[in-house]
Amino acid sequence: DTEVTQTPKHLVMGMTNKKSLKCEQHMGHRAMYWYKQKAKKPPELMFVYSYEKLSINESVPSRFSPECPNSSLLNLHLHALQPEDSALYLCASSQDRLAIQETQYFGPGTRLLVL
């Protein structure tokens, strides 16, 4: 089973709202990722967690706050977003980000619209 789940599927929020995106995997993977994808563009890496510790932050604005409560869960807390943050947010996981050979498996994404 290579399933990564994400909730919610769709989210509409105002610029003053606080919301959270959730991601879950039960493959025993120890690396989890957040990506942002705009229309007709490839995914852009935002954050990487390895063994529940933040290992990469791609200079993402502080209005995005990641959290990894345990090895199966990954959250992305959103606050004071801008309309240009509207995008498809993708979660991915892999066995270990430093493994010689590994593959990232993606979830279905959360479509976010900021009004």
Q: Cβ closer to another protein: 16 or 40?
A: 40
Pick from 16, 59, 70, 100 the residue near another protein by CB under 8 A.
Answer: 100
**Closest distance of CB 78 from another protein, Å:** 19
Pick from 56, 60, 73, 80 the residue near another protein by CB under 8 A.
Answer: 56
CA torsion sign for 6, 87, 80, 61 is positive
107 binds another protein, rule: CB under 8 A: yes
Strand spans (E) along 1-115 = 4-7, 10-13, 18-25, 31-37, 44-50, 53-57, 64-70, 73-79, 87-94, 105-106, 110-114
Q: Cβ closer to another protein: 52 or 79?
A: 52
| CA distance from start to end of the chain | 37
Asked whether 33 and 96 are in contact (CB, 8 A), the reply is no
**Closest distance of CB 40 from another protein, Å:** 8
2 binds another protein, rule: CB under 8 A: yes
Q: Provide the binding-site residues for another protein, judged by CB under 8 A.
A: 2, 4, 6, 40-43, 45, 48, 55-56, 88, 90, 97-98, 100-109, 111
